A = this chain, B = another copy of it.
Amino acid sequence: MSPQEKLPATTYAVMGLLSQGPRSGYDLASYAEMSIANFWSVAKSQVYRELSRLESLGFVDATEVKQQALPDKRIYSLTKKGEAALIDWLNTPQPQPDRMRSMFLLKVFFGNLIDSDELIRMIEDHGQDARETSIRLSSIAEQLETDPNMEYVLATARLGAKVLEATADWADETIKALKKPAKRKVNKGR
């Protein structure tokens, strides 16, 4: 409905966090780190940039808060207009699906250039990491299951757990597959 110009997702992420209640930039940054960071990380400095932008758009209001010991701060809250923009964005389906981005896969892809044992070791590590994080997310999910208000948060935790579990399984299978054939040595000379 609103003929909005397109803003980056991070802007909406900040608004989303603000929709749960007013916060300072600093608080928002730490809150982001504990909540959405698993699938959308936002650096501190980005938070501040987005807040200025949002303020100039009228999507947030700020109130100065003086402090004695700590530096003064500004508490931001989402305006009606901001909330409308956020809801509008949330309702808009993405044209393109998310693209994966993995340095690890890049290394695997060019794996023929290095010693296969070394690559296998890297895949093992990657698998273990994935397994551990998957378990961590599963236990978070378990705790969330009891709270009916958290169903969407729960869903994101479950996806993370599931994807990482698949990754860990892949690592196991891949290592097996790579170990079977006659072990090839480093392909160094061109």
Q: Which A residues form the contact surface with B (CB < 8 A)?
A: 9, 12-13, 16, 19, 35-36, 38-41, 83, 86-87, 90-91, 93-94, 97-115, 118-119, 121-122, 125-126, 129-130, 133, 148-149, 151-153, 155-156, 158-160, 162-163, 165-167, 169-170, 173-174, 177-178, 181, 188
Contact = CB atoms under 8 A, between A and B. Distances in A.
A142 to B, nearest CB: 14
A133 B97 contact: yes
B105 A156 contact: yes
Nearest to A178: B151
| Identical copies in the complex | 2
A160 B41 CA distance: 22
Contact of A106 (B9, B87, B99): B9
Q: Pick the 6 closest A-B CB pairs, nearest first.
A: A111-B152, A166-B166, A39-B105, A16-B110, A98-B102, A97-B129
A170 B159 contact: yes
A88 to B, nearest CB: 9
A172 to B, nearest CB: 11
B101 A118 contact: no
A169 to B, nearest CB: 7
A166 B162 contact: yes
Contact of A101 (B16, B39, B107): B39
30 contacts: A9-B106, A12-B106, A16-B106, A19-B110, A36-B109, A39-B102, A39-B106, A40-B103, A90-B110, A91-B115, A93-B122, A93-B125, A94-B103, A94-B107, A97-B126, A98-B102, A100-B160, A108-B152, A108-B155, A108-B159, A109-B156, A111-B152, A148-B181, A158-B170, A159-B167, A159-B170, A159-B174, A162-B166, A162-B170, A163-B170
